[in-house]
């Protein structure tokens, strides 16, 4: 097999057109301190879909802009993989609906593209990237590219603790040989176990054990890092320019990054530099009792979080990946891809020269599985990422009052019969256009 570079050539992000401000609108309605959301969870706002938006319209709108920007037509695309945990059909994949939308605006069709839908909670976006990567590396693509779309309406039952972390949007990615943005590594690590932390057994809104889900995320991510190191070799804090994680809310990443840094800094000059200030990391063999070891480790970790060494590393490597997520909430399958885009966008705006540098990407899906791989930033990265107009789109969202938020939430609740008017007017995009004779959802380009 030839060692061709395969990775993400370009991406597009489509946000739901509505916005709920967590500090100004949500916190007062819940009688909560805004700091719980802005400081604790690290979130300022969530994206919501208007009544004419859903996983198909958001995915198709992101995909159309991506194809248009790259001057591509359906004949250039050999695969359409959609990752979602908000699917509304147990048989017909969302990719067929998205292809149907796109065929309304192109003269050609996607009849020779392989289409599918991937499910494993939030990690299925990354699994779809893997599928596309493997297809191209296996030489089965006939020179064509793959379109991967991660699209979700991440809504929780009203009153659920997860409600504050909601979001809705889609990320479309073009996977190709000689990519402009990042090359994916063959090396990857997994942490996977049968867990009951977050699930939707034939129901729209998730059943969530929130506190446990945080612990499962950390445990699986740790396993994935060790597995990754077993193939890629030991990691070092300076190996990676950015570390995008799956971001259900930035506070989750704050916890994961601290544990990750502690692991990769062990036995490096970082540990030596920190030793004077907070001592060396406790080692298990130095303790008779596991409880005493865990207490010492937790004390060390708390002290580590307060050091300039850690804070500087975090500010440069992790903080930029959280910028978009703070204003759009959790997009489930798209979340880690929003984090990658955010980190690269912030780096491009700051004028960082990252060609040839590496990202360490940590994906996670409840149920549960984490995956870690690295990506090498390509020479064309800055132009490719600057083409994203995501910040303008986030800024232009309609700001919901709490009453409007409740109405919109009801309008998207499959159990409720509602007749809610749209709050925005679609223009140059795909919209939901009612039901067909077999119960299928229909779409129109307006």
Q: Which x/- pattern, by CB under 6 A, does the window 36-55 give for ligand CAA?
A: x--xxx--------------
Interacting residue with ligand CAA among 7, 49, 78, 162 (CB under 6 A): 162
**CB atoms closer than 10 angstroms to residue 281:** 18
Q: Cβ 131 to ligand CAA, closest distance in Å?
A: 21
How many Cβ atoms sit within 10 Å of the Cβ of residue 286?
10
Q: Which two tokens stand for residue 439?
A: 């119960």
Q: Which residues pair with 80 in a beta bridge?
A: 115, 147
Provide, rounded to whole angstroms, the least separation between the CB of residue 129 and ligand CAA. Answer: 17
Contact 126, 336 (CB under 8 A): yes
Structure tokens at 445: 């380009």
CA-based nearest residue to 332, from 152, 117, 119: 152
Q: Is position 33 an interface residue for ligand CAA (rule: CB under 6 A)?
A: yes
Q: Choose, by CB under 6 A, the member of 88, 115, 192, 210 that binds ligand CAA.
A: 210
Q: How far apart are CA 429 and CA 65, in angstroms?
A: 10
The distance of closest approach from Cβ of residue 226 to ligand CAA in the complex, given in angstroms and rounded to an integer, is: 19
- x-marked contacts with ligand CAA along 304-333 as a string, rule CB under 6 A: --------------------------x-x-
Nearest to 37 by CA among 326, 400, 399, 256: 326
Q: Using CB under 6 A, pick the residue from 28, 35, 139, 356 that binds ligand CAA.
A: 35
| 59 close to 172: Cβ distance less than 8 angstroms | yes
Closest to ligand CAA by CB, 175 vs 252, is: 252
**The one among 126, 141, 153, 165 contacting ligand CAA by CB under 6 A:** 165
Is residue 168 near ligand CAA by the rule CB under 6 A?
Answer: no
- Give min distance, CB of 90 to ligand CAA, in A: 21
Q: Residue 334 Cβ, how far from ligand CAA at the closest point, in Å?
A: 11
Task: Using the minimum distance from each CB to ligand CAA, give the nearer residue, 305 or 423.
Answer: 305
- Nearer to ligand CAA among residue 156 and residue 270 (C-beta): 156
Question: How far apart, in whole angstroms, are the C-alpha atoms of residue 233 and residue 217?
Answer: 23
Contacting ligand CAA within 256-295 (CB under 6 A) = none
For ligand CAA, which residue has the nearest CB? 40
Nearer to ligand CAA, 211 or 414 (CB): 211
Which CB, 97 or 331, lies closer to ligand CAA?
Answer: 331
Of the residues 14, 101, 122, 429, only one is catalytic, namely: 122
Torsion of CA 406, 411, 414, 415, to 10 degrees: 60
Q: Facing residues of 271 across strands?
A: none
Please, what is the end-to-end C-alpha distance for the chain in angstroms?
A: 45
The least CB distance from residue 198 to ligand CAA, in Å, is 5
Structure tokens at 10: 């370009």
Q: Check if 246 is active-site.
A: yes
Place of tokens 């949007």: 169
- Residue whose CB is less far from ligand CAA, 208 or 224: 208
Least gap, CB of 257 to ligand CAA (angstroms) = 13
Indicate the residue among 27 and 347 with the shorter CB distance to ligand CAA: 27
State yes or no: is 85 an active-site residue.
yes
Could you give the 3-state DSSP secondary structure of residue 249? coil
Looking at beta carbons only, is 181 or 225 nearer to ligand CAA?
225
Candidates 22, 23, 208, 431; binder of ligand CAA (CB under 6 A) is 208
SS3 assignment for 62-118: HHHHHHHHCCCCHHHEEEEEEECCCCCCCCCCHHHHHHHHHHHHCCCCCCCCEEEEE
- Catalytically annotated residue among 53, 183, 246, 319: 246
Give the burial class of 427: count Cβ atoms within 10 A of its Cβ; 0-12 exposed, 13-18 middle, 19 or more buried: exposed
Contact call for residue 212 and ligand CAA (CB under 6 A): no
- Specify the DSSP class assigned to residue 288: S
Site string for ligand CAA, 102-131 (x = CB under 6 A): --------------------x---------
Sole binder of ligand CAA in the list 240, 364, 381, 443 (CB under 6 A): 364
Number of Cβ within 10 Å of residue 193's Cβ equals 12
H/E stretch holding 346: helix 335-349
Q: Which two tokens stand for residue 205?
A: 């809104």
Nearer to ligand CAA, 114 or 307 (CB): 307
State how far Cα 395 lies from the chain centre.
19
Give the SS3 label for residue 264. helix
Q: Which of 12, 53, 85, 271 is labelled catalytic?
A: 85
Residues carrying an active site annotation: 85, 122, 246
Residues near ligand CAA, by CB under 6 A = 33, 35-36, 39-41, 122, 161-162, 164-165, 198, 208, 210-211, 213-214, 217, 246, 248-249, 251-252, 330, 332, 364, 366
């Amino acid at each position: 097999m030839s060692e061709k570079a395969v990775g993400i050539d370009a991406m597009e992000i489509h946000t739901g057109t509505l916005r709920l401000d967590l500090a100004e609108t949500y916190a007062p309605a819940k009688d909560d301190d805004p700091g719980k959301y802005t400081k604790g969870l690290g979130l300022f706002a969530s994206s919501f879909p208007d009544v004419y938006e859903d996983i198909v319209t958001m995915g198709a709108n992101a995909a159309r802009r991506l194809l248009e920007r790259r001057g591509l037509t359906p004949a250039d695309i050999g695969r359409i993989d959609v990752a979602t945990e908000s699917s509304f059909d147990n048989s017909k994949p969302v990719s067929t609906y998205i292809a149907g939308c796109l065929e309304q605006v192109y003269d050609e069709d996607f009849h020779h593209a392989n289409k599918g839908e991937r499910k494993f909670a939030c990690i299925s976006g990354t699994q779809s990237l893997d599928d596309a990567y493997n297809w191209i590396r296996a030489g089965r693509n006939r020179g064509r590219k793959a379109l991967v779309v991660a699209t979700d309406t991440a809504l929780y039952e009203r009153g659920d603790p997860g409600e504050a972390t909601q979001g809705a949007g889609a990320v479309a990615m073009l996977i190709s040989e000689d990519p402009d943005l990042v090359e994916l590594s063959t090396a990857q690590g997994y942490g996977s176990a049968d867990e009951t932390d977050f699930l939707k057994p034939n129901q729209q809104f998730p059943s969530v054990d929130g506190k446990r889900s945080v612990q499962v995320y950390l445990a699986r991510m740790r396993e994935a890092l060790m597995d990754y190191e077993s193939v890629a070799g030991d990691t070092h804090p300076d190996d990676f320019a950015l570390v995008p994680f799956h971001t259900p809310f930035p506070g989750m990443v704050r916890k994961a990054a601290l544990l990750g840094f502690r692991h990769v800094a062990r036995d490096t000059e970082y540990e030596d530099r920190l030793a004077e200030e907070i001592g060396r990391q406790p080692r298990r063999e130095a303790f008779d009792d596991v409880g005493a070891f865990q207490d010492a480790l937790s004390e060390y970790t708390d002290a580590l979080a307060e050091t300039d060494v850690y804070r500087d590393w975090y500010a440069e490597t992790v903080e930029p990946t959280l910028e978009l997520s703070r204003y759009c909430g959790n997009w489930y399958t798209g979340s880690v891809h929003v984090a990658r885009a955010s980190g690269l966008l912030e780096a491009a705006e700051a004028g960082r020269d990252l060609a040839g540098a590496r990202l360490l990407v940590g994906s996670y899906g409840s149920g549960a599985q984490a995956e870690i791989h690295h990506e090498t930033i390509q020479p064309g990265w800055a132009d490719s990422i600057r083409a994203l107009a995501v910040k303008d789109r986030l800024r232009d969202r309609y700001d919901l009052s709490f009453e409007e938020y409740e109405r919109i939430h009801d309008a998207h609740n499959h159990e409720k019969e509602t007749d809610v008017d749209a709050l925005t007017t679609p223009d140059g995009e795909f919209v939901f256009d009612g039901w067909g004779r077999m119960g299928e959802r229909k779409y129109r380009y307006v």
